[in-house]
Structures are given as structure tokens and as C-alpha cells.
Amino acid sequence: MRRRSPVPAPARLRAPVVALLAALVAASAVFLGAGSAEAAGYRYWSFWDGNGKNWEYATQGPSLLRPDDGAVQGFRFAVSEDAGDAAQPRRAPDFGAICADTPAKDGRKRVALVIDPGTAADAPDGEKPPAPRTACAQVAPDASSAEALAAVAKPLRYDSSAMLCAISGYPKSGCGEQVSGEDGSAKPTPSTTASGRTADEADDDSGDGGGGPSVGLLVGIGAVLLLGVAAVVQARRRR
């Protein structure tokens, strides 16, 4: 009787390896899908510096920054995850156009402001954003951006941590609240966790609140990898 040849080790390991790869693909889809569904942003007023042609996300809060005469500052209300994806003001940072009707005055400085309340999609429930507008604030030489804003856009509203919550009364409530990426609903959260600039403090841009993998995702993938390694080891022992 002819003896059957033993099955080579690679063939015996093929099935568990294929199963492992399938499990990894499935797990990655589940974990990555969950991460996308749970992605969230914050609804807040972001603060911008105009460089003559473009907008740059401000590196200081409006109460700390003391702009020079001829500066252009922008405020934009929107939902965003962090400074990297924050929506810019929808008006050009054009000092000449904004302050054309405000002549220079001794002992005062002019700061051009662009105030953009954003779109209906970013508005809190039941509120309608006013139209974007510009203003030329003429203030004392040592005035901050917050003081320039207060000169032309009252009432302003701040929270207990001095985060700018409302400009000209918009929005009526809320301040840096987290907005669920799944259904667009707002979830109250301490304003200091929002990625918007506060009035008294600059953002800590060294934080890790970006879009990297979550701890849950890494733990889940690690668990699948461990199970796969165990399956391969067990298959080798059966050779």
C-alpha cells in the first residue's frame, strides 16, 4: 500500500494564517469604522490673524494679543476638531477696504475686524447665524484684540474660564461644547477642552488631541494580533 506523503508545514500553516489575516481585516474595519462614527468636533469662535492676503490661526488668545495699527483680526464661528481643520473667516483680511471710512487719529490705532458667525450647519439648534460683517475698531495704542472686538461688537459673552462664547449675542447659549460626529448633537463639555482660543490663554498646541489612533483602537488591534500569534504557535505544535 502506498504511503501518503506528509503535508508540508507551509500548507498546514496556510489555513490559520489566512484566518488571521481575515480577522485582522475585519477587526480593522470595525475599529476604524467606530472611530469615524465617534469623531467629534467643538462648536466655538476661532481667532485668526490676517497677513495681508490670507488668514493664519492665531497663536495667542484675543485678550493677550495686542495688535499694531493696521492689523486685521478675524473671528469665525464653526464646528471643528482642532486648529488644523478650523474654518476660516469668509472675508478677505483687507485692512484698506475695512477701515477705508475710518481716518487715522493721533493717540489711537485702527484694527480691522472680520466677524463671521458661520453657516446654518454650524449653528446651535434653534438659532440662525447673522450675516458676516466687518468693522474698524479705533482703540487705544495698547488695546488688546478682545478690547478692539468689544468696541464694535457688543455684547460679548465669556465663560468662567474666560473663553469667548458669543459675539454680538450670538450664539445665545453654549460655549465650546462638543458636537457628536454621528448625529450632530451637542454634548456639554468643559470649555477648556475645546480647541478654540480662549480670551485669557493661548492654546497649548503641544497637546495630542489630534486625529491619531485612539487607545481603544490600538488595544483592540493588539488583542487581535495576540490571538493570531497564538493560533500560529498552536498550529506549529501540531505539526
User: What is the band of 234 on the pLDDT scale with cuts at 50, 70, 90?
Assistant: low
Q: Which helix (H) or strand (E) covers residue 15, if one does? A: helix 9-37
Q: Taking residues 155-183, what's their average pLDDT?
A: 90
Average pLDDT, the chain: 76
Indicate the pairing of strand 164-166 with strand 71-80. Answer: unpaired
Cα 28 to Cα 224: distance, rounded to the nearest angstrom: 9
Q: Taking residues 65-80, what's their average pLDDT?
A: 97
User: What is the band of 177 on the pLDDT scale with cuts at 50, 70, 90?
Assistant: very high
The pLDDT value recorded for residue 6 is 54
Q: Does residue 157 have a pLDDT over 50?
A: yes
Closest by alpha carbon to 153, among 201, 200, 128, 117?
Answer: 117
Q: Taking residues 232-238, what's their average pLDDT?
A: 56
Cα 99 to Cα 70: distance, rounded to the nearest angstrom: 9
Q: Taking residues 4-31, what's their average pLDDT?
A: 51
> Do 182 and 189 touch, CB atoms closer than 8 A?
no
